[in-house]
Structure 1
């Protein structure tokens, strides 16, 4: 498809640029721009009714930012995660103040857990949800405390504190997953890459990956990988997402190729970052580890706008 440059007057009126104009402004050829969009999900131009790409000034700025990271030696497969983190901070003009608020919430969560104060933790959870986004509730407040307690040396009482918080969060996430159970236009199955994954990590991933368009069928943390094909034959999902926050083994590609799911296979979590280069050129799509990036790439893939 050849994108034709629009008259300058039209560009000024629409504040949108055709691909060849973006190429002229940035020095990036159209083939590369399309690859950054379809393979890595780095930019998201709008489309005309005839299918031509149109880029906003923000898209042009994003292209220049991508070039900056590439010039610093960052692999293109890693740039998406960096941009996602930057965009999350940019959404709040008072990022420093916001960081202070998040740290204060984490401290209050930690204090409530130390006292095994279930009622206090309930109140905190509701207050945090009313004050910030669902993604921040888990990724920036509750889960960091959970990870710290889980990783800490097992002093007296720490195992009990972690168990207390783990049980509380599993209950809350399950409740929200129940509320989100409604028919969606598309459906994906979310499963653990290995049975070593903690149940709460999988539950939170399922909650954060879902949207108004995409429903998530969550399998248990104990789900055997070799039995996924059986489930896929029964459910016929639009895709299967395997989730893991651990470095995958060198045999991952061969293991995934043997599954025979009969539907698209995607990888999410830290494992997707580790395996991105290894799985390049395979049928497995790596969604990344950043929640906003995972959601965006999943949406793009299901819409046919992200290459494998």
Structure 2
């Protein structure tokens, strides 16, 4: 799955648009809104133009246009109406679909225009919570179902990271207002899903604390150098795929022994893999969180 995906099944269209495959077939048969390709065995497939058209149709449909009316419009008219809606302030509610469209077309301009429209109504923090977090959750599902390729995921993730870095730099230059502890943010060895951790770094800086951001794939032994450098450290890590289910509890024990025992330090953990951590013997200086927002609310 290393090549850019440009041919889609009807199931892919369902995953990307949120419209059931059965409904797509009805729209296609009754209103001729899509033009699928067919295999020798009569199996439908769709190109990127069909996908883009469907996403625009869904946008119009969500805004009250009847599918029978949309079917009478040509492609240029559909595109114009969609762009008009996207340019309106109320289009922030459909930003996730628009960002997905930008991703599928590798369209940086559409990403930037949509992002800038959102900032007319929301703070960056609100954009991240209401749009980027749900978007990344959807992308995880789309990647797992092979609806999108790594190229699509990397493209959109990089653009979001750019916005995170820009906003982080704005607060990073300010002097910390809270000095009771220092936050050290890192990902475990072989963990590369950095976006959530990057946002937490922004949140912590925004709350007036000093942070030391180490990023992805950090061995535990590399953190020992920090152990004696500060009186109180709050280590923060985001466990998306690493350590794996079989190794995660040994990893926690190792962290406790090497970084936390006989110190004032603590460890905050979140991410999908935390569900496999045994909480029966978890020490009082290790805390698990179910979401970025939950952790952010404790700052």
**Which category of TM-score, normalised to the shorter sequence, fits these structures?**
0.5 to 0.7
Deviation per CA, 1:246-282: give whole Å up to 9, x if none: 57623243222222354412223135565473354x1
Q: How far 1:213 moved relative to its partner?
A: 2.5
Is the CA contact 1:102–1:140 (under 8 Å) kept in the aligned structure 2?
Answer: no
Give the TM-score normalised by the residue count of structure 1. Answer: 0.55
Deviation per CA, 1:30-69: give whole Å up to 9, x if none: xxxxxxxxxxxxxxxxxxxxxxxxxxxxxxxxxxxxxxxx
Tell me how far apart the structure 2 counterparts of residues 125 and 259 of structure 1 sit (CA, whole Å): 43
Tell me how far apart the structure 1 counterparts of residues 127 and 134 of structure 2 sit (CA, whole Å): 10
**Residue among 124, 134, 146 paired with 1:154:** 146
Query: Is 1:228 the equivalent of 2:220?
Result: no
Query: Is 1:202 the equivalent of 2:171?
Result: no
Tell me how far apart the structure 1 counterparts of residues 250 and 162 of structure 2 sit (CA, whole Å): 35
Query: Is 1:131 the equivalent of 2:121?
Result: yes
Query: Is 1:257 the equivalent of 2:259?
Result: no
Provide structure 2 residue ranges, at least 5 long, that are not aligned to the other structure.
Answer: 1-89
The change in CA–CA distance for 1:250 and 1:212 in structure 2 (over 3 A counts) is closer
Is the CA contact 2:197–2:237 (under 8 Å) kept in the aligned structure 1?
Answer: no
Is the CA contact 1:173–1:207 (under 8 Å) kept in the aligned structure 2?
Answer: yes
**Residue among 94, 111, 115 paired with 1:121:** 111
**Residue among 203, 209, 216 paired with 1:214:** 209
Deviation per CA, 1:55-86: give whole Å up to 9, x if none: xxxxxxxxxxxxxxxxxxxxxxxxxxxxxxxx
Q: How far 1:216 moved relative to its partner?
A: 2.5
Is the CA contact 2:185–2:215 (under 8 Å) kept in the aligned structure 1?
Answer: no
Provide structure 1 residue ranges, at least 5 long, that are not aligned to the other structure.
Answer: 1-99, 300-308
The change in CA–CA distance for 1:274 and 1:127 in structure 2 (over 3 A counts) is farther
Q: How far 1:135 moved relative to its partner?
A: 4.1
Give the TM-score normalised by the residue count of structure 2. Answer: 0.56
Is the CA contact 2:196–2:292 (under 8 Å) kept in the aligned structure 1?
Answer: no
Is the CA contact 2:164–2:199 (under 8 Å) kept in the aligned structure 1?
Answer: yes
Is the CA contact 2:193–2:240 (under 8 Å) kept in the aligned structure 1?
Answer: no
Tell me how far apart the structure 1 counterparts of residues 164 and 188 of structure 2 sit (CA, whole Å): 20
Higher RCO by CA contacts (8 Å cutoff, separation 6 or greater): 1
Q: How far 1:112 moved relative to its partner?
A: 1.7
After superposition, where does 1:5-84 map in structure 2 within 5 Å? none
Tell me how far apart the structure 1 counterparts of residues 171 and 281 of structure 2 sit (CA, whole Å): 32
**Residue among 164, 175, 178 paired with 2:155:** 164
The change in CA–CA distance for 1:209 and 1:273 in structure 2 (over 3 A counts) is farther
Aligned length: 197
Match of 2:175 in 1: 183
Q: How far 1:162 moved relative to its partner?
A: 1.2
Q: How far 1:293 moved relative to its partner?
A: 2.3
Q: How far 1:205 moved relative to its partner?
A: 2.5
Match of 1:140 in 2: 130
Tell me how far apart the structure 2 counterparts of residues 252 and 278 of structure 1 sit (CA, whole Å): 15
Match of 2:280 in 1: 278
